Structure 1
Amino acid sequence: MTDEPEQYLAARLRRAIAEDPRTTEMGVRITVRGDTALLSGDVASPERRAELEAVIHDVAPELTVLDDVKVVPVGEPEGQEDLR
């Protein structure tokens, strides 16, 4: 485990998933407690979810990742929107 404060490590991990071309995710939250990183939020595909964990392991291989990220498919809206 590193001597880096948890909030700094969480910020470094958030920056990594935002800047890494595999993920470019801004909407995923990361909380670090001890040697565990909790990921939460929504992504568009299972592949993106797996890449998040890969980026975290690349940046901080000593952390255990708890993944609470949900896959929410993104597609074109169905039907017509009724504006009143």
Structure 2
Amino acid sequence: MGEAPQYVAARVQQALAEDARTNELGIRVDIRGDQLFLRGQVSEPGQRDRLGEVAHETAPALHLHNEIRILDASAPGEDEHLD
């Protein structure tokens, strides 16, 4: 294999943070063998898809598992009361 997994993960994480399409800091990147896992939460499906695209472009040789969850902002919970 070429680059050590931790370096590839760091490169993907940096791309997710710096790419103008994503600018996302809170995503965890894990690499196991030839598998790349993205984990975290975003507020909309389009952002999840863009993160997957940037990760794939950064490490195209790895098989991408986009496990990023979409936060459901459409169903608010109880009202928050501030004193």
Name the CA distance, whole Å, in 2 between partners of 1:16 and 1:74. Answer: 26
Moved over 4 A (4+): 77-80
Q: What per-residue deviation string (whole Å, max 9, x for no partner) do you get for residues 33-53 of structure 1?
A: 111101100011100000011
Q: Percent identity?
A: 39
For structure 2, the 5+ residue unaligned runs are: none
Indicate the RMSD between aligned Cα atoms, in angstroms: 2.0
Question: Paired residue for 1:50?
Answer: 49
For structure 1, the 5+ residue unaligned runs are: none
Question: Paired residue for 1:71?
Answer: 70
Report the AA paired with residue 60 of structure 1: A
Name the CA distance, whole Å, in 2 between partners of 1:22 and 1:62. Answer: 21
1:1-84 map, 5 Å: 2-74=1-73, 80-83=79-82
Report the TM-score, using the length of structure 1 for normalisation.
0.85
Report the TM-score, using the length of structure 2 for normalisation.
0.86
